[in-house]
Chains A and B, each alone.
Chain A
């Protein structure tokens, strides 16, 4: 028998082992739910899977009587739009601020302390200000994501640029690069995959801000729906929504990862250089 540290699973086993915790979780849930419903058929805390499917079908996936819209897709679309807009703006700002901050000592001296201080402001604490300034509409929700996520991306990119090999910077100068062409031909292209990495890491944070702002003031959205039906203890709707948000977050991460590999084939190999 080999030592435990030397035993490696083959593909099939690895898949099985990976799925195991999920399967266990579902089984535990089904049993617990069954036990509670056995005791009290009206129990709301752990609805059965059939109940959840039924509720979702009736109240979220059927066209609403009032407007004819399907609430579930409406919520998904609204939330993804806010998230996409917020993340997109944050990434653009992150690149535009982070690169000069890391590359140009004069800019760093001028703005680094400000950015450091600004990124310490808890975004949720200024949410009321955003609602006051931008009203209850879309802008405030997107702004919260931008304010919360941009400083993280900026600081991450700044550090990446600062730790950029000095040899490459000097080499580029001896090849005739100005500060500007150095940025557009060398630094920014090499920072793009790192920017996507930073976006992936901040997606979780962005979801927190999205759901917080939707919980407080919105008329649709995944976060809004969860907080709305909470009043009726509608676990049969909350649980599928949470599951859906998790799936969306996972997919976004997965797609970004694939996207990075596809667009920047050199990025995965660079470590050997």
Chain B
């Protein structure tokens, strides 16, 4: 069964049609990259997957059930910026997810439970290469390290779906290559399902097992908002090619 099932999905704000008649299936384990010109609805689509927005019309299922209409633990998110908790250290930022899950009232663990959460968080941080800065505050980290932390935060909850919203858009090219290697490695090791929005076509081709291109097919110059975007290309990418590239 598909993880995500979408049939004849529409999204409009008033008269402004953003997405029209989208149909799509995403299976567990896929790495989907979403590309398209700005304003073509790929971010809106991601927000719908996240639960921040809901569709206007159509079938929109997560594991066969209607999508939860607010953000939940099944779906992790990594934004481009601003999603780290500035008052917590690197370690506490990752521990927070474990603590929130196990302590519904205080959101804080003590004693042995805290120690276990700490160990789990440290292992996660070492996996993303942040083992040496556990007690720094996020503001003391570089942009690339901040994104590593944001990924670790999400992964510690073992989400069924990991959403990436232009996560590497603000990084230097060299750092970006490191981050690509990291995310592919994590994706493989943890059997993640990833949906990633990017404006970098090369990145989309390089990372994904499937590339989805969003664009408007019809355009009425008199009423630019009358038609929404569709998926114009749905390109499966060969994994072998990726493996090769990875080994380079």
Whether a CB of chain B sits under 8 angstroms from the CB of A189 is yes
A174→B76 contact, CB < 8 A:
yes
- Contact across chains for A178 and B104 when beta carbons are under 8 A apart: yes
Number of residues from B at the complex interface, CB < 8 A? 38
For residue A271, which residues in chain B have a CB less than 8 angstroms away from its CB? 139
Given the complex, which residues of B lie within 8 Å of A173, measured CB to CB? 70-72
Q: Is B144 at the interface (CB under 8 A from chain A)?
A: no
Flag if B140 contacts A269 (CB, 8 Å): yes
What's the Cα separation between A171 and B164 when bound, in Å? 12
A residues 243-273 near B (Cβ < 8 Å) are 264-267, 269-273
Q: Is the CB of A176 within 8 A of B82?
A: no
B137 within 8 A of A: yes
Within the complex, what minimum Cβ distance (angstroms) separates A164 from chain B? Answer: 10
Those of A70-117 within 8 Å (CB) of chain B: none
Is A266 in contact with B87, judged by CB distance below 8 angstroms? yes
Instruction: State in angstroms the CA–CA spacing of A166 and B85 once bound together.
Output: 12
Question: Taking the nearest CB of chain A, how far is it from the CB of B141, in angstroms?
Answer: 9
B50, B81, B97, B150: which contacts A170 (Cβ < 8 A)? B50
Distance A264 CA – B85 CA, assembled complex (angstroms): 13
| CB-defined contacts of B84 to chain A, threshold 8 Å | 168, 273
From known contacts A175-B157, A181-B104, A184-B106, infer whether A189 and B137 are also in contact, taking CB-CB under 8 Å: no
Proximity bits, B97-108, A CB within 8 Å = 1, else 0: 101110111111
Closest to B94 in A: A175
Contacts of A180 in B (CB 8 A): 105
Q: How far is the CA of A173 from the CA of B52 in the complex (A)?
A: 11
Considering the chains assembled together, what is the distance between the CA atoms of A219 and B84 in angstroms? 53
Among B70, B97, B140, which residue has its beta carbon within 8 angstroms of that of A176? B97
Take A184-B107, A185-B96, A273-B82 as given contacts and tell me if A176 and B139 are in contact as well, using a CB distance cutoff of 8 Å. no
Tell whether A202 is near chain B: CB-to-CB under 8 Å.
Answer: no
- Selected contact of A266 from candidates B52, B83, B137, CB within 8 Å: B137
Known: A270-B86, A273-B84. Is A167-B71 also a contact (CB below 8 A)? no
* A172, B79: Cα distance in complex, Å: 12
- Residue A190 at the chain B interface, CB threshold 8 Å: yes
A171:B86 contact, CB within 8 angstroms: no
Chain A: CB-nearest residue to B165: A167
- A269 touching B100 by the CB < 8 A rule? no
- How long is the Cα–Cα vector from A272 to B137 in the complex, in angstroms? 11
Residues of B within 8 A of A168 (CB): 82-85
B66-78 interface bits toward A, Cβ cutoff 8 Å, 1 = contact, 0 = none: 0000111101110
CB distance from B8 to the nearest CB of A (A): 27
A186 contacts chain B at the CB level, 8 A cutoff:
yes
Complex CA distance for A271 and B103, rounded to whole angstroms: 31
Which of chain A's residues 144-178 have a Cβ closer than 8 Å to chain B?
165, 167-168, 170-178
Cα–Cα, bound, A185→B72 (Å): 17
- Most B CB within 10 A of own CB, among A165, A174, A180, A271: A174
Given the known interface contacts A168-B85, A272-B139, the answer about A176 and B77 at a Cβ–Cβ threshold of 8 Å is no
CB distance from B109 to the nearest CB of A (A): 11
A166's nearest neighbour on chain B, judged by CB, is: B82
What string of 1s and 0s marks CB contacts (under 8 Å) between B14-41 and chain A? 0000000000000000000000000000
Q: Are A174 and B77 in contact (CB under 8 A)?
A: yes
- B94 vs chain A, min Cβ distance (A): 10
Name the A residues within 8 Å of B159 (CB-CB).
174
| B139 engages A174 (CB within 8 Å) | no
State the CA gap A133–B108 with chains docked (Å).
44
Contact between A176 and B101 (Cβ–Cβ < 8 Å)? yes
Residues in B whose Cβ lies below 8 Å from that of A272: 139
Contact A170 B100 (CB under 8 A): no
Q: B14: shortest Cβ distance to chain A, in Å? A: 21
Contact at A265–B81, with CB atoms within 8 Å? no
Q: Which residues of A contact B97 (CB under 8 A)?
A: 175-176
Most chain-B CB neighbours within 10 Å: which of A185, A265, A272?
A185
CA of A185 to CA of B140, assembled, Å: 21
Residues of A within 8 A of B208 (CB): none
B-contacting residues of A (Cβ < 8 Å)? 165, 167-168, 170-178, 180-181, 184-186, 189-190, 264-267, 269-273
The 7 closest A-B pairs by CB, nearest first: A181-B107, A173-B71, A175-B97, A167-B83, A171-B83, A167-B82, A165-B82
Report 14 cross-chain contacts, Cβ distance below 8 Å, ordered by A residue.
A170-B50, A170-B77, A173-B70, A173-B71, A174-B71, A174-B76, A174-B159, A175-B96, A181-B100, A181-B105, A181-B107, A184-B106, A185-B108, A273-B139
